[in-house]
Structure 1
Amino acid sequence: MTDLKLALQEQAEDVDKVLDDLLLEPEGPEAQVVKAMRYSALGGGKRVRPFLVMASSRLFGVSEASALRVAAALEMVHCYSLIHDDLPAMDDDDLRRGRPTCHIEYDEATAILAGDALLTLAFEVLADEETHPSPSVRCALVSELAKASGMNGMVGGQMIDLMAETRELGIPEITRLQRLKTGALIVFACKAGAILGKAKDIKMQALRNYGHDLGLAFQIADDLLDVEASEEETGKKVGKDAERGKATFVSLLGVERAREQAHMLSEQACRHLDVFDRDTELLRAMAQYVVNRRS
């Protein structure tokens, strides 16, 4: 696990350098929105999704420069979602990664614009020739991230999540919610390396399945943290789901069964990697990390 922590740290530093370069402040009053974008995108975080892009890319010998740009674009989409998630109209949070949320640090209108700008910049980065010389690869990246981010992915999942505050959901509904809201971007992160490497279907499918199980395990672990961890550990408010009466894996399964399910999914995710002849140690370690983390 120590090697994974070091790899996560090094990868996060590399991605932050790319984000820093892509988010240069312009001259003029519009610089305010870029400051808000930088505040949210460069404000720390584990960078799990960028790490998965990089790890999956290494399986196919993809250029590190190309993979880093895709990793940075994905992190922009993730950060945009956090900005909007924290708004009063959504989760109404005032703490993220141990700091005031974007709308608290700036204001609601600036936060909305910062999120919008991060989302659109992500697709600008993916469409740029510098990301990959092949137009078909760039188009595939744009298409797949759009699907993972939109109404059939993260946004659709967020809609179900909002509805969950006023209606009861069972395990199938919660599973679908989390596959869309959390899992879709994680699946894209795992598939991105295969897209960049022009991989064959069997390996693309293996990474999709790995990401699918990893994403669900990640969310169950999040539900457990909301019940068991402290605000100091997570860097955000905890106990929110119970406070709002929202059904989660933990509320429906109980703590121990939820933990067992997360570990089962982690082990299942690792088995999908057996088709690769290259080193998958870090991806396997990540599957263990997501269910044992404390933040």
Structure 2
Amino acid sequence: MLIQRYFETRLELIENALKSYLSFDNIYSKNLIEAMRYTVFSGGKRWRPLLTIAVYEMLTNPRKNSDLSDIIKAACALELIHNASLIHDDLPQVNDRKDRRGNQSCHRKFGHATAIMAADALYTIAFEVIAGLSDPKKALTGVRMLSDYCKTYGMIGGQAVDLLNKRKVMKLNTLRFIDLKKTGSLLEAAADLACLIAETDAETRQLMINYTQNLGYAYQIIEDIIEDYNRSGDDLDFSQDFIPTSKSSYTGLMGFDKARHAGEKLLLECTKIIRPYPNNDILNEFIQMIQERLP
């Protein structure tokens, strides 16, 4: 109950902040603004901003009467970038997704040109938000961090490699690179920004980055297991012979048992990393939520 209450209160802070960042009105670009809001408020789970805040609060324990304004800015900057990346990812020239979160994808509802501009605008607002950290030095470092996690050796680089290999049977190292960069980069950024604002030492920073990297990678492996069975993760029937739907997946490249073991091992590493820290209940909850998806 306490954990549920924690998520509810932090989600409320995130939603209110996102609304304030997208509260502008301009009659000449009304369609653009609608496309931006449509994407950001279309039912995302907000895992990245929640993770950012949870790492910060574990390291600083400020849950009582403390100012969370800077960490909320960092969290929302990540969420804005994540949503921008989804718009680009859904475009016909990329993954050609017609639906996202149970709704029409942005380009299907607003047109390709408006969707591209909406994503571009969300990127720029994200950097404006992180540049607004109360400490100018942290703000500058935060902008650089976010840039590094997004660019050619980060999220966008992972997307590029994914596109390049879309119709190929990938090697395990290639698939791992794609997932660690395309999906994992913003999770690592969540830990890195939390450590920046919490003013941790280099060792703690690396541990938190390792935690989020392992967490995200485990999630990708488990999603592959579920997707390759082409069934809901709640009622998989493993009495049937295993035939992966894709050779370019962890189950296709490693087999079910090895993929499952790899996911479990990564989650165990996450548990070990945060074990020494008091107030690690929320980060343990992230581990449990992924663990429960394991068949």
The TM-score normalised by the length of structure 1 is 0.88
| Distance 1:31-1:225 versus aligned 2 partners, 3 A rule | farther
**Residue 45 (structure 1) shift:** 1.6
Corresponding position of 1:192: 193
Unaligned runs of 5+ in 2: 235-243
Q: Report Cα offsets for 1:171-230 as digits up to 9, x if no partner.
A: 122111111111111011122211001111111111011111112112112323423466
Write the distance in 2 (CA, Å) between the matches of 1:120 and 1:280. Answer: 33
Cross-structure match for 1:212: 213
The equivalent of 2:252 in structure 1 is: 251
Contact persistence 1:73–1:122 (CA under 8 A): yes
Q: Secondary structure at the match of 1:89?
A: coil
- 1:68 matches 2:72: yes
Distance 1:232 1:205, change over 3 A: closer
Contact persistence 2:56–2:194 (CA under 8 A): yes
Partner of 1:116: 120
Structure 1 CA distance, aligned partners of 2:152 and 2:76? Answer: 22
SS of 1:29's equivalent?
helix
Q: Which amino acid aligns with 1:64?
A: L
Aligned residue in 2 for 1:17: 16
* Corresponding residue SS for 1:30: helix
Question: Does 2:98 correspond to 1:80?
Answer: no
Alignment of 1:262 with 2:257, yes or no, is no
Indicate whether 1:160 and 2:161 are aligned: yes
Q: Which amino acid aligns with 1:150?
A: K
Identity of aligned residues (%): 29
Asked if the contact 1:165/1:246 (under 8 Å) is kept, the reply is no
Q: Which amino acid aligns with 1:60?
A: T
User: What is the CA–CA distance in structure 2 between the aligned matches of 1:187 and 1:4, rounded to whole Å?
Assistant: 23
**How far, CA to CA, are the matches of 2:52 and 2:165 in structure 1?**
31
The one-letter code sitting in structure 2 at the alignment partner of 1:269 is C
SS of 2:148's equivalent in the other structure is helix
Are 1:154 and 1:182, in contact at CA under 8 Å, matched by a contact in 2?
A: yes
Structure 1 residue 285 displacement after superposition: 1.6
**With structure 2 as the length reference, what TM-score do the two structures score?**
0.88
CA RMSD of aligned residues (A): 2.2
Please, which runs of 5 or more residues in structure 1 have no aligned partner? Answer: 234-241
Match of 1:281, as an amino acid? D
Greater displacement, 164-173 / 45-54: 164-173
**Distance apart, 1:127 and its partner CA:** 0.6
Aligned mates of 2:226, 2:89 — CA distance in 1: 18
The 2-side partners of 1:114 and 1:122 are apart by 12
Report what 1:285 is aligned to: 285
Q: Residues 85-104 of structure 1: matches in 2 within 5 Å?
A: 85-104=89-108
What is the aligned partner in structure 2 of residue 33 from structure 1?
Answer: 32
Q: Is the 8 A contact 1:213 1:269 kept in 2?
A: yes
Write the distance in 2 (CA, Å) between the matches of 1:282 and 1:167: 39
